[in-house]
């Protein structure tokens, strides 16, 4: 029997339930510690490679099109979080439902997030198509740009040689007037354990974290769709 680590109880729970829940609570506490240890290790990474070019991206705000550089995307911050949004430039292509589900949540958090760091989603599709979809989706606060006219996706592993798109989350920092890559979600490229997918951006994706708390779990056959 696991020793209790708090005295909170819920109505009508059995002794069997409490013993199992105490054991799980110990595991959850250890997981919390490990998450912080990994986060501290991530924060302590040395600088990665210096970004060799100030990529130019297409942006559209209130119908006005502009050309913004990677350094522009930092705004007043010294840290930029950038997500490669899987949205193919091929005519008629629709964006990835999984990416879209994740970005649904990020749009709602963007105003909070940008108090601390810059945030952008980068799609390969032309900016007109990206913004048309964003308006239909109801996104209001997530910054979206197009890499249709640069090599950012290919250079930073958000695109394969056949031009198919990959969902990679990046962190860039600005130091002494230069921009450096510091972290990307490389679990995407690591071997997966049986019954798992890459889970490389799950920590910013509320959907899976909440489903993991349910008896049914996230499952292995259901995935988000663009329309229900």
- Listed by start position, the domains of the chain span 1-44, 56-186
pLDDT at 1: 54
pLDDT of residue 36 exceeding 70, the answer is yes
Q: Phi-psi region for residue 157, left (φ > 0), alpha (ψ -120 to 50) or beta?
A: left
Q: What angle, rounded to 10 degrees, do the helices at 127-137 and 97-113 form? A: 80
pLDDT at 136: 97
**CA nearest to 121, candidates 71, 25, 57, 182:** 57
Q: What is the pLDDT of residues 156-190, one digit of tens each?
A: 999 999 999 999 999 999 999 999 999 999 999 99
Half-sphere exposure of 196 (CA within 13 A, CB side): 12
Mean pLDDT of the chain: 95
What does the angle CA 167 – CA 173 – CA 179 come to, to the nearest 5 degrees? 100
**CA nearest to 157, candidates 37, 48, 14:** 48
CB 114 within 8 A of CB 151: no
Pseudo-torsion of CA 176, 49, 39, 140, nearest 10°?
80
Q: What is the pLDDT of residues 189-213, one digit of tens each?
A: 999 988 888 999 999 999 999 999 9
pTM, to two decimals: 0.93
**CA nearest to 73, candidates 60, 82, 84:** 82
> Quick one: average pLDDT of 38-48?
97
The domain at 56-186 falls in which architecture?
A: 3-Layer(aba) Sandwich (3.40)
> Quick one: average pLDDT of 87-95?
94
Confidence band (pLDDT; 50, 70, 90) for 45? very high
Euclidean distance between CA atoms 143 and 59, whole angstroms: 9
């Amino acid at each position: 029997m696991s020793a209790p680590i708090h005295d909170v109880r819920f109505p009508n729970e059995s002794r069997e339930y409490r013993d199992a829940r105490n054991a799980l609570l110990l595991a959850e506490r250890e997981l919390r510690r490990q998450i912080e240890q990994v986060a501290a290790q991530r924060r302590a990474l040395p600088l990665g490679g210096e970004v060799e070019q100030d990529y130019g991206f297409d942006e559209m705000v209130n119908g006005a099109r502009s050309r913004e550089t990677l350094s522009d995307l930092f705004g007043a911050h010294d840290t930029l979080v950038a997500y490669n949004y899987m949205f193919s430039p091929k005519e008629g292509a629709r964006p990835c439902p999984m990416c879209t589900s994740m970005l649904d949540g990020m749009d709602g958090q963007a105003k909070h997030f940008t108090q601390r760091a810059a945030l952008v989603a980068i799609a390969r599709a032309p900016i007109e198509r990206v913004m048309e979809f964003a308006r239909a989706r109801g996104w209001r606060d997530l910054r979206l740009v197009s890499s249709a006219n640069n090599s950012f996706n290919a250079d930073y592993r958000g695109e394969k040689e056949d031009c198919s798109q990959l969902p990679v989350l990046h962190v860039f920092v600005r130091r002494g007037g230069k921009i450096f890559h510091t972290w990307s979600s490389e679990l995407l490229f690591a071997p997966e354990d049986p019954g798992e997918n890459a889970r490389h951006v799950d920590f910013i994706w509320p959907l899976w974290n909440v489903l993991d708390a349910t008896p049914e779990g996230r499952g292995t056959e259901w995935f988000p769709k663009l329309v229900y």
